[in-house]
């Protein structure tokens, strides 16, 4: 038990700091910046989870927005049908309201994640037998099918979209999820068995001959990646706008996420975080360029990829000083 606490102390502290920061930001931060911060948090979850599939395991998926949509709509359905009215009926106020809403958000987010994970399993089982381009096309197709299904489901607002009642995903909610997403995926893939994810990307064939059940690991990566895409979708659906339309989860969104993974470095979690933050902030920073914004954005991307084709971080990671892993390399003589 002692080891468990030692291993998780830093994570707990980070979560507490996030909660405190969220409390402060809500009161004292300009709503515009607050919203951007929340967007960055959601992007981090999406990009890190996609990196698990595309970068770390090397299975090129183009359907992440589809899984995000599943999470968003599943959570929206829950809120519209049950959670929203129930919270409304409680008529709470003050601190009590805050706590209940936070817990409700937690449940909603998990439901969104689980729904997306199930979709990931159903899609992944057959699709992961495909390689390279074929997998990319299959997942792209899945994403489009999902979008069209929601577009034609009138109960969920159809193409017009659907408005979602509170609870709202505030800074604290989003960043608690982001921190857990990063920590869990990091710990998994840098564990002794979790190195198998990298092995599959490096050489699937050699991985199988050392006894790694490659299909199982690909499915784990796909399901876990989809879970967090669903979490991000649920958070997105419950963000301040409180309104989602199927068009927000189109193929362009999937491609945007892949661009962020590639820019950060396929296989680097820190790279994904940096890229998610940078590419979410960049359009805001470039507002001054008005209609040339997209041109400048694209030029910057091309420039980075030309100078660093392996992405900003390659496969390297920035490790925090309190980082605990059992990997102790002996010093190289």
Partner 1 sequence: MSALLEIQGVGMEFGGLKAVEGLDLEVAEGELVGLIGPNGAGKTTVFNVITGVYRPTRGRICFAGERIDGMAPHLISRRGIARTFQNIRLFKNLSALDNVVLGFNRSARQDVLGSMLLTAKHWRRQAGILKRSHELLDKLGLGLAEGRSSMELPYGEQRKLEIARALATQPRLLLLDEPAAGMNLAEKRELTGLIERLRREFNLTILVIEHDMKMVMSICPRIVVLDHGQKIAGGTPDEIQRHEQVIEAYLGEKAPSA
- Supply the minimum distance, in Å, between the C-beta of residue 166 and partner 1: 30
Rounded to the nearest 5 degrees, what angle is found at the Cα of 113, between the Cα atoms of 107 and 115? Answer: 105
* Interaction of residue 330 with partner 1, rule CB under 8 A: yes
CA distance 225 to 54: 10
Nearest CA-CA partner of 143 in 48, 34, 239, 68? 68
* Interaction of residue 329 with partner 1, rule CB under 8 A: yes
Q: Which helix (H) or strand (E) holds 68?
A: helix 64-78
Q: Give the one residue of 198, 243, 300, 301 binding partner 1; rule: CB under 8 A.
A: 198
* Interaction of residue 188 with partner 1, rule CB under 8 A: yes
* Interaction of residue 305 with partner 1, rule CB under 8 A: no
CA distance 137 to 15: 38
- Supply the minimum distance, in Å, between the C-beta of residue 311 and partner 1: 13
* Interaction of residue 309 with partner 1, rule CB under 8 A: no
Unique residue bearing structure tokens 């706590």: 99
Dihedral (CA of 216, 218, 220, 222) sign: negative
* Interaction of residue 33 with partner 1, rule CB under 8 A: no
Based on CB atoms, which residue is closest to partner 1, 140 or 221? 221
DSSP-assigned beta bridge partners for residue 163: 243
The structure tokens listed for 41 are 């948090």
| Contact present, 263 and 52 (Cβ < 8 Å) | no
* Interaction of residue 212 with partner 1, rule CB under 8 A: yes
Q: Which are the contacts of 189, defined by CB distance < 8 A and separation ≥ 6?
A: 52, 56, 195, 197, 198, 269
* Interaction of residue 176 with partner 1, rule CB under 8 A: no
Based on CB atoms, which residue is closest to partner 1, 27 or 330? 330
Q: Give the one residue of 89, 209, 290, 307 binding partner 1; rule: CB under 8 A.
A: 209
- Supply the minimum distance, in Å, between the C-beta of residue 55 and partner 1: 11
Q: Give the one residue of 35, 97, 187, 293 binding partner 1; rule: CB under 8 A.
A: 187
Q: Which are the contacts of 263, defined by CB distance < 8 A and separation ≥ 6?
A: 271, 275, 278, 279, 301, 304, 305, 311, 312
Q: Give the one residue of 23, 102, 184, 243 binding partner 1; rule: CB under 8 A.
A: 184
Q: Give the one residue of 91, 210, 290, 306 binding partner 1; rule: CB under 8 A.
A: 210
* Interaction of residue 220 with partner 1, rule CB under 8 A: yes
Based on CB atoms, which residue is closest to partner 1, 76 or 199? 199
* Interaction of residue 208 with partner 1, rule CB under 8 A: yes
* Interaction of residue 88 with partner 1, rule CB under 8 A: no
Nearest CA-CA partner of 200 in 55, 328, 70, 297? 55
Point out which residues bind partner 1 (CB under 8 A). 1-4, 7-8, 183-184, 187-188, 191-196, 198-199, 202-203, 205-214, 216, 220, 224, 267, 315, 324, 326-333
């Amino acid at each position: 038990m002692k080891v468990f606490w030692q291993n998780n102390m830093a994570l707990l502290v980070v979560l507490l700091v996030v909660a405190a920061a969220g409390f402060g930001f809500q009161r004292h931060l300009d709503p515009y910046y607050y919203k951007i911060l929340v967007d960055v948090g959601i992007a981090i979850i999406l990009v890190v989870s996609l990196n698990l599939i595309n970068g770390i395991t090397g299975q090129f998926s183009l359907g992440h927005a589809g899984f995000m949509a599943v999470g968003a709509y599943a959570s929206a359905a829950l809120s519209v049908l049950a959670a929203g009215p129930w919270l409304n009926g409680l008529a709470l106020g003050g601190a009590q309201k805050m706590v209940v809403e936070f817990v409700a958000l937690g449940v909603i987010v998990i439901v969104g994640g689980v729904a997306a994970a199930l979709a990931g399993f159903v899609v992944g089982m057959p699709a992961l037998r495909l390689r390279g381009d074929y997998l990319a096309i299959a997942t792209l197709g899945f994403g489009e099918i999902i979008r069209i299904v929601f577009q034609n489901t009138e109960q969920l607002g159809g193409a017009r979209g659907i408005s979602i009642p509170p609870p709202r995903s505030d800074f604290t909610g989003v960043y608690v999820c982001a921190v857990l997403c990063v920590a869990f995926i990091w710990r998994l893939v840098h564990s002794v068995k979790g190195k198998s994810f990298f092995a599959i990307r490096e050489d699937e064939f050699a991985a199988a001959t050392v006894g790694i059940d490659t299909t199982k690991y690909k499915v784990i990566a796909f399901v876990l990646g989809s879970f967090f895409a669903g979490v991000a979708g649920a958070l997105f659906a419950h963000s301040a706008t409180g309104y989602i339309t199927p068009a927000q989860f189109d193929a362009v969104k999937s491609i945007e996420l892949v661009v962020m993974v590639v820019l950060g470095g396929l296989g680097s979690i820190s790279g994904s975080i940096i890229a998610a933050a940078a590419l979410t902030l960049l359009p805001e920073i470039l507002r001054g360029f008005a209609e040339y914004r997209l041109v400048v954005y694209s030029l910057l991307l091309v420039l980075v990829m030309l100078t660093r084709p392996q992405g900003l971080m390659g496969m390297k990671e920035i490790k925090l000083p309190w980082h605990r892993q059992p990997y102790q390399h002996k010093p190289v003589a």
